[in-house]
Amino acid sequence: MQYAHSLADYGLQTAKLIQNREVGWLTKNRKTGEFVRERQPLAKKLRMAVLFNPFIEWVDRTSLFRFWIHEKTDHSQKKESDPRSKEQIKSFVEFYQIDMDEFEPSDINAYSSFQEFFIRHHKPNARPVASPEDPSVATMVADSRVVVYDSVEETHKLWIKGRDFSIAQLISDKVAARPWANGAVASFRLSPQDYHRYHSPVRGVVRWWKELDGDYYSVDPVAIRSDIDVLAANARSAFCLSTSEFGDVLFVAIGALEVGTVKLSDKITCVLPGSAHNNAGKVTIEKGEEVGFFEFGGSSIIIAFERGRIRFDEDLKGVSAQLIEMDVEVGMTLGKATAPAS
């Protein structure tokens, strides 16, 4: 009888989660401590189950599926830029329960298209930067869900399951990737409802940047934990910051399904290595400074630190070891430098 009651309770709880569309990955809200499942359209959840299974992962190696993904992304870019797309904003805000008081403008009627709404700005001081005067404290780069691991090996073992995931593969450069060969990794996942501008976790000087063309796979945890090398296959932009406290820090912004562009700020892309007017090493990025934005859909960011140069916050490490993402806001603490400034 007790077993029957437990089974009935489980069924009712599951039905309620489905009714509320809380069918995404399990996360922990850092501010409240509450464990919740992310709100997600049922159609998207079913699509993930269909697309990321052993058979489709085999099929996915062909060019046909990749062509379909590119076509879908191009279509979405045109659709969301159309002024008529602003009609979607109200239902989108209501479904995801977005607090527009945090954004500027806060009136949804002020946006000319869904694209403009998607790359909305926070109001000043809506996301204060932790310890702004202490360069040894690294901060969150986006409103997102994050997992952290002390090494690439641990990241690959527990979270990113792609067949050949490595930092060298991620930036397509074995030599440039050497500082982070088995360094610490923070993996951020942005959902469609999130603020899609991203910020620097540390203060540093831009050493180099690059853009890499690719596909537009979903970055849902179901996809990340599949055998497909999603992060290294998707279109992405990367840059390296040289810091006194953390050594070299790698920032990789990764596009995903229905993401039309991965934009780095003009301040970063003005660095022109190899040019007669080369200014590499002369452009300083402040902690918390905006460094780019995504257009459309979900997306992901990988931050890599040299091994032994950061101690991630213990609450982040605890949930990450349980394969639970921490729901965080840009500017919150990520970790502390473990090596003294040189």
Distance CA 242, CA 240 (A): 7
Distance CA 48, CA 6 (A): 29
Distance CA 203, CA 312 (A): 17
Across all residues in the chain, what is the average pLDDT?
80
Each domain of the chain, given as residue ranges in start order, spans: 70-119, 127-337
The reply to whether 143 belongs to the active site is yes
Q: What per-residue confidence (pLDDT) applies to 25? A: 75
Residue with token string 């890499």: 212
Q: What per-residue confidence (pLDDT) applies to 259? A: 53
Q: What is the mean pLDDT of residues 145-171?
A: 80
Are the beta carbons of 49 and 56 closer than 8 angstroms? Answer: no
pLDDT bin (cut points 50, 70, 90) of residue 13 is very low
Tokens of 5: 């009651």
Are the beta carbons of 57 and 63 closer than 8 angstroms? Answer: no
Distance CA 65, CA 59 (A): 8
Q: What is the mean pLDDT of residues 102-122?
A: 95
* Res 1 pLDDT > 80: no
Q: What per-residue confidence (pLDDT) applies to 56? A: 52
Q: What per-residue confidence (pLDDT) applies to 229? A: 60
Q: What per-residue confidence (pLDDT) applies to 216? A: 55
Q: What per-residue confidence (pLDDT) applies to 86? A: 93
Q: What per-residue confidence (pLDDT) applies to 183? A: 95
Distance CA 302, CA 167 (A): 10
Q: How many CB atoms lie within 10 A of CB 316?
A: 24
Adjacent-strand bridge partners of 147: 187
Angle of CA points 224, 194, 212, to nearest 5°: 50
pLDDT bin (cut points 50, 70, 90) of residue 82 is confident
* Res 100 pLDDT > 60: yes
Q: What per-residue confidence (pLDDT) applies to 284? A: 95
Q: How many CB atoms lie within 10 A of CB 40?
A: 20
Q: What per-residue confidence (pLDDT) applies to 83? A: 84
Catalytic residue chosen out of the listed positions 60, 143, 248, 313: 143
* Res 173 pLDDT > 70: yes
Catalytic residue chosen out of the listed positions 113, 187, 191, 299: 299
Catalytic residue chosen out of the listed positions 196, 199, 215, 218: 199
Are the beta carbons of 152 and 187 closer than 8 angstroms? Answer: no
* Res 222 pLDDT > 60: no
* Res 14 pLDDT > 90: no
The reply to whether 134 belongs to the active site is no
Q: How many CB atoms lie within 10 A of CB 268?
A: 20
Tokens of 66: 């990749």
Tokens of 64: 């046909």
Q: Which string of DSSP letters, residue by residue, matches 213-263?
A: --B----SHHHHTSSS-HHHHB-EEEEEEEETTTEEEEEEEE--TT--EEE
Q: Higher-confidence residue: 319 or 279?
A: 319
Strands 247-254 and 144-149 come out as unpaired
Q: What per-residue confidence (pLDDT) applies to 80? A: 73
Tokens of 173: 């450069």
Q: What is the mean pLDDT of residues 114-124?
A: 94
The reply to whether 213 belongs to the active site is no
